[in-house]
Structure 1
Amino acid sequence: MAVLILSGVLVLALGGCVCVVWAARGGPRWVRGVAGATLAAGELVRRAKRTRRSQHPTQLGDSDS
């Protein structure tokens, strides 16, 4: 079951990447919509990652010497 879910996520991610490239080359309106949604989802993931990092800093770069 997990393999099926992960496969579906992979297919959606690859499809989104294809739409981003196609939209950059002037694809139809629906492709530009999917590309916009893909880029927005990527930005949300990046912001969530930054927020988690600022809440839980690593110990590697936190030396006071």
Structure 2
Amino acid sequence: MILLVLSGILALAVAGCVCVVWAARGGPRWVRAVATVTLLAGDLVRTEQRRGRSLDRGTTDGDG
């Protein structure tokens, strides 16, 4: 079951990347919409990773 879910997530990620490339070449409107959603999702993940790292740094007290 977990393999099926991970395969689906991988397929969505690959499809999103394909849409980003296609949109850069002037694809149809729906491709540009999917590309925008894909790029926004990537920015959101990147922002959350940065926020998590800054929180990790803030909790260390330097004693370890």
Q: How many residues align?
A: 58
- Residues 7-61 of structure 1: CA distance to partner in whole angstroms, max 9, x if unpaired? 000000000000000000000000000000000000000000000000002xxxx
Structure 1 gaps of 5+ residues are none
Structure 2 gaps of 5+ residues are none
Q: TM-score scaled to structure 2, two decimals?
A: 0.89
Structure 1 residues 9-24: aligned runs within 5 Å: 9-24=9-24
Give the equivalent residue in structure 2 for 1:52: 52
- Name the CA distance, whole Å, in 1 between partners of 2:9 and 2:41: 13
The structure 1 segments of at least 4 consecutive aligned residues displaced by more than 3 Å after TM superposition are none
- Name the CA distance, whole Å, in 1 between partners of 2:5 and 2:31: 24
Q: Which is richer in helix?
A: 2
